[in-house]
Structure 1
Amino acid sequence: MPTAADADRRRPRAALLVAVLAVGTTALALLQSLVVPVLDAIGDQLGVSPAAAGWVLTANLLAAAVSTPVLGRLGDTWGERPVMIGILVAMTAGTLLALVTSSLPLLLAARVLQGASYGLFPLSISVLRRELPAARLNVGMSVVSSTLAVGGVVGLVAAALLTHDGGDYHRPFWIGLAASAAALVLVVLVLPRRPPTGSGRVDWWGAVVLAGGLVLLLLPVSQGNAWG
């Protein structure tokens, strides 16, 4: 019968686990911030109005608001590892789509896929609570949390530098693709397989109602200035 010592030996080293989760949250922050400096470029290069280009941000935030609670519940019932892998696959696919398309509807679809990335942070905290000893938990959570700010700043600066001379708005997405792909590979290799911590099932009808309520609340808030 496996002992507690055996379980500890199978547990990945704390520093490695924290580093892998930090890469994931850095990718999350990068994808959310790198479009901010290029909104004007997106409007100009796609031939759409500033209000239409602003949907690149709005669609992402709405997708995040709708998907994050559902993904958190899936993490409880299915386990964090498969859900995090699914999120990173969606992030990578969305970033790749953003790179190859020059269509606003497809770019919005890409940003919706990237919106799933917000679920990485609460799932990462859940993994840390389960895997790290109490003595290292606060430090691990602080490191992962701080990468949200670091990734956001890096995304803003990198996107501004890559497009400051009127360059193609697609350029910053290469950074997002590299970060997403790296996080996906690391999570697959390092994150341990653990049984789910919760029971029951996902209330899909409740998720639909929640999604509708959040959209009806957040959409007027985000577009109120443009709509008047």
Structure 2
Amino acid sequence: MEQDNKALEFPFFPNNPNSSMFFPLEIAMANGDKVMVKYIFYMNGGMDVAGCLKKDGPVYSVPVYLEERETGCLHHTMSDEQIQHLSANDPWAFTINKVLNNMHLLHLKAEVMRLQKTLTLHTTLNTQYQEYAKQMTQLSSRMFQVEQELTNIRKQLELGDTYQTIAERCHICMKTTKARHVGDATHGPNNHQSVGMVQQVPPSQHRTS
């Protein structure tokens, strides 16, 4: 394969096994051999990815075969800082979106947009969680103070035998009230009216002598 004489430009990018963007694709040649794709070229108009052996060379429309990656070509893990670089609020967001548009990687762009949406939701929920955690801390402190106050009041009531004193007073009050109701029933107003009652004759019924 010939050496490149120009710098790479989108939509081409090198298919290097040592790169984090390595796609293990092989193209079947006319003689039956399979050659590792040197560059990946993305077509416009939402077409599928196709491979080529050389930048600006002919694009092969023949079937492309997948090959298992070697152990040394495994994907690279992403740090939390790298994840934040892909967020919508990162200073590099404009440049990253521009690169994604030029690469025509629709599936990759969709994943980045999904990540940005999820990061925004995560930030919102984390802010709410921090506010609730602060409120819970304040409420827990206040609840502890109230419980301590209740404990002190309870001790004072126990030392003064307050509940027993109130219970005895209530018992005496109930007995007095019950006896009063019984007396009212025996010597009520109706009984007093029935004793010594004189029938009065209306003046119109008196006879003159």
**TM-score where L is the length of structure 2:** 0.25
Greater helix percent: which structure? Answer: 1
Of structures 1 and 2, the one with the larger relative CO (CA 8 A, separation 6+) is 1
Greater strand percent: which structure? Answer: 2
Computing the radius of gyration from Cα coordinates, the structure with the larger value is 2
